[in-house]
């Protein structure tokens, strides 16, 4: 039997981000900080706060081209703490100017995208890979879903967002499925006492369809902006 779940939530999954600036190694750099507060579950591939769990904030930090620090997690944590973020969070980084972030919304789902596509390619190609941090170029995607999602649905949401990203890249005429350093974070709500988490977030599910359209629009805008 299919469970009937609430279609909307009174609380957004993430508040709009704050734009932060700093000078590092003589270069002016920008960051975006979303403060989620309690009651948010996230899934992320980020170097800081990756995996699945309750998180209170998301930071997308611009770093200099040729970034060579070997402790990016500590670097991101220090930047977030300096901006007033408290508790566990997610930290992403990119060499792209995050002030050029694009945003798209679809029936409550919001997608934010920063894109640097100078270094790009197809996911499946001959040759070996390497462990460890890579030079950031990066399409970073932050998605907010104003509904509770199960662990499986959070994983499903990442797949759906990735499919929508690739669709946007191909439609924009770019010969790639992404960059070697793409990262993602999907935020959802923690189920309330009388709520069940949505079990699906594929592209034909209620929230997955909305997520796909929002991500597709934001990525397409990000990679075609002049």
Residues 6 or more apart from 88 whose CB is under 8 A from it?
Answer: 49, 53, 54, 55, 56
pLDDT digits (tens, 9 = 90+) for 198-225: 999 999 999 999 999 999 999 999 999 8
Strands (E) in the chain, as ranges, are 18-24, 27-35, 40-44, 51-54, 57-62, 90-94, 102-106, 109-115, 139-148, 183-189
From residue 87, alpha-carbon distances to 17, 56, 77, 91, 154 in Å are 17, 6, 10, 12, 21
Q: What percent of the chain has pLDDT over 70?
A: 91
Q: Report pLDDT digits (tens) over 161-203.
A: 999 999 999 999 999 999 889 999 999 999 988 889 999 999 9
For residues 98-115, give the mean pLDDT.
96
Query: Does pTM surpass 0.75?
Result: yes
Per-residue pLDDT, 137: 55
Residues 16-62 have pLDDT tens digits of 999 999 999 889 999 999 999 888 999 999 999 999 999 999 999 99
Angle, alpha carbons 149-38-192 (nearest 5°): 45
- Position 117 scores a pLDDT of 86
- Average pLDDT over every residue of 54-82: 94
Name the nearest CA neighbour of 151 among 4, 36, 10, 51.
51
Specify the pLDDT at position 11.
65
Q: What was the pLDDT predicted at 130?
A: 60
What is the pLDDT at residue 120? 86
- Confidence (pLDDT) at 82: 97
């Amino acid at each position: 039997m299919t469970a009937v779940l609430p279609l909307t939530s009174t609380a957004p999954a993430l508040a709009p981000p704050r734009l932060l600036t700093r000078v590092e190694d003589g270069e002016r750099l920008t960051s975006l900080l979303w403060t989620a507060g309690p009651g948010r579950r996230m899934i992320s591939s980020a170097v800081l706060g990756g995996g699945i769990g309750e998180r209170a904030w998301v930071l997308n930090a611009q770093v200099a081209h040729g970034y060579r620090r070997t402790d990016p997690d500590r670097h991101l944590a220090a930047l977030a703490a300096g901006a007033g973020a408290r508790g566990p969070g997610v930290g992403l980084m990119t060499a792209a100017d995050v002030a050029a972030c694009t945003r798209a919304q679809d029936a409550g789902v919001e997608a934010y995208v920063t894109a640097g596509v100078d270094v790009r390619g197809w996911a499946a190609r001959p040759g070996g890979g390497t462990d460890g941090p890579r030079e950031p170029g990066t399409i970073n995607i932050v998605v907010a879903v104003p509904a509770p999602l199960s662990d499986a649905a959070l994983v499903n949401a990442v797949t759906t967002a990735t499919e929508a990203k690739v669709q946007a890249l191909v439609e924009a005429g770019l010969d790639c499925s992404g960059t070697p350093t793409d990262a993602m974070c999907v935020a959802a709500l923690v189920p309330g006492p009388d709520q069940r988490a949505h079990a699906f977030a594929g592209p034909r599910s209620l929230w997955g369809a909305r997520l796909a359209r929002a991500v597709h629009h934001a990525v397409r805008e990000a990679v075609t902006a002049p």
